[in-house]
């Protein structure tokens, strides 16, 4: 590798908690001499990418890895409305306190969040304005988060139309385009990497009751939604799984249509969309998959 750091355009895909793999991928790239000059993200890709572009990824990593030990239920601000289960204000307020109110055009890294204009049925690229308006719009999974009203548009999750947002990187003048698909078919992961990931998982195994507490809380508030706990949890699971099924099909089409220099595939069965309690092992998985993909490219 030359003394000049190769510049990279990153296209970070959507996939819920699997998006924590983006952290490990970004870390690996920077540790191995790549300079991330541009980021395009959808949903969790927009969130992780935006926080990195603002220079606060390490703070976010520490926070999300400690999430199991925290009382995460306080971030579940139920909307009690027909257009989404959660408002998302509490999590956005927490991230704003961590990162600060930032304007996209002032960030040191070029950044684009991809959202979906639900009224006009089109993809929207947000490359200027408040960072957290862009992130909030891009993560608004239909049925889970309420839509985000922004500049006269009703915006929802960018993964609805573009779960691997490679196209926004076409306007970049970088040495390399690296795309991350969080909805890949099951792929063979080397034994050494499996052991590393499993070790990360064991480090937090005593904290796994976090997910059970969320489920119990959903059951407890279910009467507010006019049904039993099992019924409402079933609706939530059906919504997220249906959305993921759609993303899987679209992601395959996008990857076939656009050809990044490097494609990092994160298996869709490596982590469920809501399993944020597995942050450490998913981040480690991202690091390992980055090494495999970039090594093959070199």
For residues 102-111, give the mean pLDDT: 97
What pLDDT, on the 0 to 100 scale, is given for residue 81? 67
For residues 27-32, give the mean pLDDT: 97
Query: 23-27, 270-274, 279-283: which range is least confident on average?
Result: 270-274
Domain annotation covers residue 48: yes
pLDDT band at residue 286 using 50, 70 and 90 as cut-offs? very high
Query: 37-46, 91-100, 160-169, 195-204: which range is least confident on average?
Result: 195-204
Q: Would you call 245 helix, strand, or coil by DSSP? A: helix
> Which residues are designated catalytic?
43, 157
pLDDT digits (tens, 9 = 90+) for 113-122: 999 999 999 9
Q: Would you call 119 helix, strand, or coil by DSSP? A: coil
The DSSP code sequence of 17-49 is GGGGHHHHHHHHHHHTT-EEEEEEEETHHHHHH
Domain annotation covers residue 194: no
Q: Which two tokens stand for residue 106?
A: 């002032």
Strand locations in the chain (E): 7-12, 35-42, 78-81, 84-86, 110-117, 122-126, 148-150, 153-157, 176-184, 262-267
Give the CATH number, domain containing residue 39.
3.40.1090.10
pLDDT digits (tens, 9 = 90+) for 54-96: 999 999 999 998 875 444 566 676 776 667 778 888 889 999 9
pLDDT band at residue 226 using 50, 70 and 90 as cut-offs? very low
Domain annotation covers residue 89: yes
Write down the mean pLDDT value for the chain. Answer: 83
The rounded distance, in Å, linking the Cα atoms of 264 and 280 is 19
Most confident of 67-71, 166-170, 220-224: 166-170
Q: Which residues pair with residue 113 across a beta bridge?
A: 41, 126
pLDDT of 34 higher than 70: yes
Burial of 122 (0-12, 13-18, 19+ CB in 10 A): exposed
Phi/psi-derived region of residue 226, left when phi > 0, alpha when psi is between -120 and 50, beta in every other case: left
What pLDDT, on the 0 to 100 scale, is given for residue 236? 63
For residues 247-270, give the mean pLDDT: 89
What pLDDT, on the 0 to 100 scale, is given for residue 242? 79
Which tops the pLDDT comparison, 16 or 134? 134
The rounded distance, in Å, linking the Cα atoms of 1 and 72 is 43
Could you list the residue range(s) of the whole structural domain that residue 26 is in? 7-187+234-296
What pLDDT, on the 0 to 100 scale, is given for residue 179? 97
What pLDDT, on the 0 to 100 scale, is given for residue 197? 60
What pLDDT, on the 0 to 100 scale, is given for residue 206? 45
Domain annotation covers residue 241: yes
Domain annotation covers residue 221: no
The rounded distance, in Å, linking the Cα atoms of 246 and 163 is 10
Most confident of 150-164, 234-248, 256-270: 150-164
Cβ contact 6:33 at 8 Å: yes
Look-up: residue for tokens 């003394």? 3
CB under 8 Å to 288, separation ≥6 — which residues?
Answer: 24, 189, 190, 193, 196, 197
pLDDT band at residue 153 using 50, 70 and 90 as cut-offs? very high
Domain total for the chain? Answer: 1
What pLDDT, on the 0 to 100 scale, is given for residue 117? 97
Give the angle 169-171-175 at the CA atoms, nearest 5°: 65
Domain annotation covers residue 229: no
What pLDDT, on the 0 to 100 scale, is given for residue 223? 44
Domain annotation covers residue 224: no
**184-208: burial string, b at 16+ Cβ within 10 Å, e else:** beeeebeeebeebbeebbeebeeee
pLDDT band at residue 20 using 50, 70 and 90 as cut-offs? very high
Domain annotation covers residue 83: yes
């Amino acid at each position: 590798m030359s003394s000049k750091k190769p510049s990279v355009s990153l296209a970070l895909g959507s996939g819920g908690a699997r998006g924590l793999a983006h952290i490990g991928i970004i870390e690996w790239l920077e540790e191995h001499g790549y300079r991330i000059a541009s980021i395009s993200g959808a949903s969790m890709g927009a969130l992780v990418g935006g926080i990195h572009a603002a220079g606060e990824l390490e703070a976010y990593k520490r926070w999300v890895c400690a999430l199991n030990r925290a009382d995460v239920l306080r971030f579940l601000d139920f909307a009690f409305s027909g257009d989404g289960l959660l408002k998302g204000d509490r999590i956005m307020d927490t991230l704003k306190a961590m990162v600060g109110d930032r304007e996209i055009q002032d960030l040191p890294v070029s950044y684009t969040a991809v959202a979906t204009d639900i009224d006009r049925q089109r993809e929207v690229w947000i490359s200027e304005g408040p960072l957290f308006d862009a992130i909030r719009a891009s993560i608004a999974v239909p049925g889970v988060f309420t839509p985000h009203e922004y500049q006269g548009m009703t915006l929802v999750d960018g993964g609805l139309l573009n779960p691997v947002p490679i196209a926004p990187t076409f306007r970049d003048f970088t040495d390399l385009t690296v795309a991350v698909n969080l909805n890949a078919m099951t792929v063979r992961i080397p034994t050494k990497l499996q052991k590393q990931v499993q070790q990360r998982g064991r480090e937090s195994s005593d904290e796994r009751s976090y997910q059970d507490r969320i489920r119990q809380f959903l059951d407890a508030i279910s009467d507010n939604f006019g049904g039993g706990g099992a019924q409402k949890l079933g609706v939530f699971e059906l919504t997220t799984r249906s959305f993921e099924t759609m993303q899987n099909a679209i992601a395959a089409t996008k990857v076939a249509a656009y050809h990044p220099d490097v494609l990092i595939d994160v298996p869709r069965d490596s982590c469920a969309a809501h399993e944020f309690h597995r942050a450490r092992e998913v981040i480690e998985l991202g690091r390992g998959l980055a090494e495999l993909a970039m090594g093959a490219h070199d």
